[in-house]
Amino acid sequence: MKLLSSRKPHYSPTPRKSSKFAPFIALALLLTIPLYTFPPSHKLLLPLLLERNNNSNLPCSSLPCNDGGGGGLTLRRRELRLGKGNYSRNRKVGRPKEYLTRVSTATHNEEPGIIRTKVLEDQKCDLFTGEWVPNPQGPYYTNATCDAIQDHQNCMKYGRPDTGFLKWRWKPDGCDLPIFDPHQFLELVQGKSLAFVGDSVARNQMQSLICLLSRVAYPEDLSAPTDQNKRYQYTEHDFNISMFWSPYLVKTGKLDPNEKRPFDLYLDEFDPHWTTKIALFDYLIISAGHWFFRPTYFYVNNRRMGCLYCPESNISHMTSVFSYRRAFRTAFRAINGAVNFKGVTFLRTFAPSHFEGGPWDKGGNCVRKRPFKRKETSLRDFSLEMYLIQLEELKIARRAGRRNGGKFRLFDATKPMLLRPDGHPSKYGNWPVANQTFANDCVHWCLPGPIDSWNDFLQELLKRENKR
């Protein structure tokens, strides 16, 4: 096992040079952008939701969704305060300064604040409602002390000039959230196994965890170099981490972005890559989001029910809300039905992107250098829709799990990360190339960066589990 020295971290930028493969990369990017004609009723173009695997930087297109199945439901506005837990529909109190706003369908039966309150485990201390406060001690690792950082999140390597975004920590309103302690964490997980299930943002968190632990220990990588499913073993601590690449959480056809047709998505069928291994783990962290805006065909009971952004006119055109809700319900059904699974499932909620100044393909970027205050922004439209779906499906899964001892917990990344437009790679995930244009990444998170706070949350959530 590789141990790291305790020397003071420093950044290690790499000399700028253009890759000889740059022209081929640019051509691949151009050819893999899905080209579809969209109906004129879509008024707003959502930002690029980049999904990068180990070998490519591939864009996907997206459009807003406003109903659960493409069927013209009545729209209405709903607000949720981001204060200390006081929620109201009383129009006489006026518009709150801190709120979540959504253009919603009638598919949600309860107010957002009520839904969230019901899935919180600890009403005395909501870890996920608070503010970002200065933290001069950060960061706790760098690209010079951790080799688990992928290039497209290695902002310091690619010349990001500011470091102020590294000097913040999350402070809940009603209590304190300790900074991640690698010694304490390894004690908490002694003899345990942890799995991340999801897309590249889930992998982003896993790599953050490995880097935070690198101050005391490095794991043995037991996975194949080209395999997106990862497994790491901390032998001395009898602890292992796995990453299951499952961006839709359910069974899919081949997920090849080079294909010129939409992906096949089987919304009522389990993804065997991870659902057959659930019982092996003590903790599952499940998440999904950005892939649900890619062109897809929807199958239920092995029958094609509709599609998202497909070119055919003789198929029902639905929205991502249709697939998102069904995917989480199927994933939670797999967990509740897993034989001999006695562990804890954490739902890590949707982390919003922060494109400003235009959509992803029109120069949209994320150039802010400090966090938002709560009163400066709000969660709305598709991001809030997805967040509410997650909360509702978590509530349903928890109710179903009571029959067989299933344990489901809320890991709310949405509220804290809404306030961090400064933490994305932007253009600092690759070197500039002459006569080449790359989309800015306002979806993933720099390492080190704000996503390290997710493991502050994880440590505290595990401590709470040990007290139950």
Enzyme catalytic residues: 200, 441, 444
The phi and psi torsions of 93 (rounded to 5 degrees) equal: -75, -10
Question: In the structure encoding, which two tokens stand for residue 346, read together?
Answer: 């954490």
Q: How many CB atoms lie within 10 A of CB 171?
A: 14
Q: Which amino acid is at 187?
A: E
- b/e 273-311 (16+ beta carbons within 10 angstroms → b): ebbebbeebbbbbbbbbbbbbbbbbbbbeeeebbbbbbe
Among all chains, which residue has been given the structure tokens 């073993």?
Answer: 233
3-state secondary structure of 347: strand
For residues 67 and 385, the answer to whether their CB atoms sit within 8 Å is no
Question: In the structure encoding, which two tokens stand for residue 338, read together?
Answer: 């897993």
Residue 355 to residue 374: CA distance in whole angstroms: 18
Pairing state between β 344-348 and 239-245: unpaired
CA separation, residue 374 to residues 72, 323, 455 (Å):
33, 30, 22
